[in-house]
């Protein structure tokens, strides 16, 4: 058998399985949570692109039983058997999405998180443009429905429009951090933008 190169990132897949986490991506939001301390007990958090539910599992622990997490995805999310979570199947780019979100939770969100990602085509420009459209929608939702002083986290495929998007986030948030979590696969072009303390 040929020698296979050592792939340290594989440990996240194994760790996720061993810990009962639904996706290795859970470690990404866990790292962001620990680095920036943006989550607190009792918060209401919106998780866009939430299936199969790895982020949700971490977010539910972060906000605790008095908090609430709303998860939305094109794909259904298997029940998490926790009292403080609501999930819905929806397309965030659908014109009716904002109304649907209001019906799920009419109040403001403390943190809006987006792990939205398009199905990749392998065509770089197309994939980047679709990723940007999803991150742009997440920012729009965060501006409409996030509270002043709240936070924003969004995944984005690194591409030529990245700087412009970072500039848009910077206009609304006091600080913007760029994060490539340890659990990100080696070849992936994805990064997360973290907007801290919404200005208005
Ligand atoms: C990387 S996965 C999310 C993984 C999730 N954060 C977790 O930890 O389990 C990206 C998700 O974005 C969803 N998605 C892509 N486009 C969407 C859209 N227009 N509306 C809603 N969800 C979308 C996909 O269905 C997919 O489940």
In tens, the pLDDT along 17-54 reads 888 888 899 999 999 999 999 999 999 999 999 999 99
Q: Is 75 touching ligand 1 by the criterion CB < 6 Å? A: yes
How many A from CA of 72 to the centre of ligand 1? 8
Query: How far is 135 from 85, CA to CA, in rounded Å?
Result: 23
Q: How confident is the model at residue 80 (pLDDT cuts 50, 70, 90)?
A: very high
Pocket test for ligand 1, best of 73, 94, 97, 101 (most atoms within 8 A of CB): 73
Burial class (CB in 10 A: 0-12, 13-18, 19+), 17: exposed
**169: containing domain:** 10-198
The string of pLDDT tens digits covering residues 123-153 is 999 999 999 999 999 999 999 999 999 999 9
The string of pLDDT tens digits covering residues 89-107 is 999 999 999 999 999 999 9
pTM of the model: 0.94
Q: How far is CA 167 from CA 22, 100, 135, 141, in A?
A: 33, 29, 13, 17
pLDDT over threshold 80, residue 189: yes
The string of pLDDT tens digits covering residues 146-178 is 999 999 999 999 998 999 999 999 999 999 999
Per the annotation, the verdict on 155 as an active-site residue is yes
Indicate whether 68 belongs to any domain.
Answer: yes
Indicate whether 128 belongs to any domain.
Answer: yes
What pLDDT is attached to residue 7? 55
Indicate whether 2 belongs to any domain.
Answer: no
Query: How far is 31 from 12, CA to CA, in rounded Å?
Result: 12
Indicate whether 127 belongs to any domain.
Answer: yes
What pLDDT is attached to residue 17? 82
Q: In the numeric block, which tokens belong to residue 113?
A: 């998180």
What pLDDT is attached to residue 19? 81
Q: How confident is the model at residue 1 (pLDDT cuts 50, 70, 90)?
A: very low
Indicate whether 39 belongs to any domain.
Answer: yes
Q: Is 181 touching ligand 1 by the criterion CB < 6 Å? A: no
CATH of the domain at 188: 3.40.50.150
Indicate whether 3 belongs to any domain.
Answer: no
Q: How confident is the model at residue 78 (pLDDT cuts 50, 70, 90)?
A: very high
Query: How far is 173 from 176, CA to CA, in rounded Å?
Result: 7
Q: How confident is the model at residue 190 (pLDDT cuts 50, 70, 90)?
A: very high
When divided into structural domains, the chain yields a total of: 1
Query: How far is 68 from 156, CA to CA, in rounded Å?
Result: 25
Indicate whether 4 belongs to any domain.
Answer: no
Exactly one of 119, 155, 177, 199 is catalytic; name it: 155
Indicate whether 151 belongs to any domain.
Answer: yes
Q: Is 51 touching ligand 1 by the criterion CB < 6 Å? A: yes
């Amino acid at each position: 058998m040929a020698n296979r190169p050592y792939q340290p990132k594989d440990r996240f897949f194994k760790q996720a399985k061993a810990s009962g986490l639904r996706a290795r991506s859970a470690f990404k939001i866990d790292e962001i949570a620990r680095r920036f301390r943006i989550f607190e007990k009792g918060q209401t958090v919106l998780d866009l692109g939430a299936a199969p539910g790895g982020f949700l599992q971490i977010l539910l622990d972060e906000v605790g039983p008095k908090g609430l997490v709303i998860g939305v995805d094109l794909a259904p999310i298997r029940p998490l058997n926790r009292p403080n979570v609501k999930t819905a199947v929806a397309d965030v780019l659908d014109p009716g999405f904002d109304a649907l979100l209001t019906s799920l939770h009419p109040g403001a969100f403390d943190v809006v998180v987006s792990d939205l990602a398009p199905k990749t085509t392998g065509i770089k420009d197309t994939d980047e443009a679709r990723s940007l459209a999803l991150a742009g929608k997440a920012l729009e939702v965060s501006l409409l429905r996030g509270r002043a002083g709240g936070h924003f986290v969004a995944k984005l495929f690194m591409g030529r429009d990245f700087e412009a998007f970072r500039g848009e986030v910077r206009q609304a948030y006091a600080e913007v951090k760029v994060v490539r979590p340890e659990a990100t696969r080696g070849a992936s072009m994805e990064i997360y933008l973290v907007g801290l303390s919404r200005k208005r």
